[in-house]
Chains A and B, each alone.
With several copies, the nearest count.
Chain A
Amino acid sequence: MVSTEEKIGWSVSDMARNVAIDIPNGSYVNLGIGMPELVAGHVPEGREVIYHTENGLLGMGPAPAEGHEDPELINAGKKHVTAIPGASYFHHADSFTMIRGNHIDFCVLGAFQVSEEGDLANWSTGAPGAIPAVGGAMDLVAGDIKIYVISRHTTKEGVPKIVKQCTYPLTGKKVVDTIYTDLAIIDVMKEGLFVRELAPGVTFDYVQERTEAKLHLY
Chain B
Amino acid sequence: MINKIVASPAEAVADIFDGAVVMISGFGEAGSPIELIHALIDQGAKDLTVISNNTGSGHVGLAALIAHRRVKKMICSFPRTANSKVFPELYKNGEIELELVPQGTLAERIRSGGAGIPAFYTPTSVGTPLADGKESRKFDGKTYVMERTIRADFSLVKCKAADRYGNLVYNKTARNFGPVMCMGAETAIVQAKKIVELGELDPEAVITPGIFVSKVVEVSDPAEESKLVAEDRRYPW
- In the complex, are there CB atoms of A and B closer than 8 Å? yes
**A80-88, A146-154, A181-189, A202-210 - the one binding chain B:** A80-88
Kindly identify which residue among B88, B115, B129 contacts A170, using a CB–CB cutoff of 8 Å: B129
Q: Which of A37-81 contact B (CB under 8 A)?
A: 46, 48, 50, 52-59, 70-75, 78
The reply to whether A98 and B27 form a contact with Cβ atoms under 8 Å apart is no
Residues of B within 8 A of A138 (CB): 102, 105, 124-125, 128, 130
Does A129 belong to the interface (CB within 8 Å)? yes
Given contacts A92-B103, A92-B107, A92-B176, contact A71 B29 (CB under 8 A): yes
The listed residue (A87, A99, A136) touching B77 by CB distance below 8 A is A136
Interface pair A55/B173, CB less than 8 Å apart = yes
Q: Is A93's beta carbon under 8 Å from chain B?
A: yes
B136 contacts the other chain (CB 8 A): no
Look across to chain B and name the residue whose beta carbon is closest to the beta carbon of A129: B92
B177–A48 CB distance below 8 A: no
| Chain B residues within 8 Å of A102, by CB | 116
Residues of B within 8 A of A57 (CB): 172-173
State whether the Cβ of A95 lies closer than 8 Å to any Cβ in chain B. yes
A71 to B224, Cβ gap below 8 A? Answer: yes
12 further A-B contacts with Cβ under 8 Å, apart from A96-B107, A100-B124, are A50-B165, A50-B211, A54-B104, A55-B176, A57-B172, A74-B30, A87-B203, A92-B27, A96-B115, A97-B115, A100-B123, A170-B128
Chain B: residues with CB nearer than 8 A to chain A? 1-2, 27-31, 77-82, 87-88, 91-92, 98, 100-108, 110-111, 113-117, 122-130, 163-165, 167, 170-180, 183, 198-199, 201, 203-204, 206-207, 209-212, 224-226
Binding site for B on A (CB under 8 A): 25-26, 28, 46, 48, 50, 52-59, 70-75, 78, 83, 85-104, 119, 129, 131-139, 142-143, 169-173
Q: 12 A-B pairs, CB-CB below 8 angstroms?
A: A52-B211, A59-B203, A73-B30, A88-B206, A90-B209, A91-B176, A92-B180, A99-B116, A100-B117, A103-B211, A172-B126, A172-B127
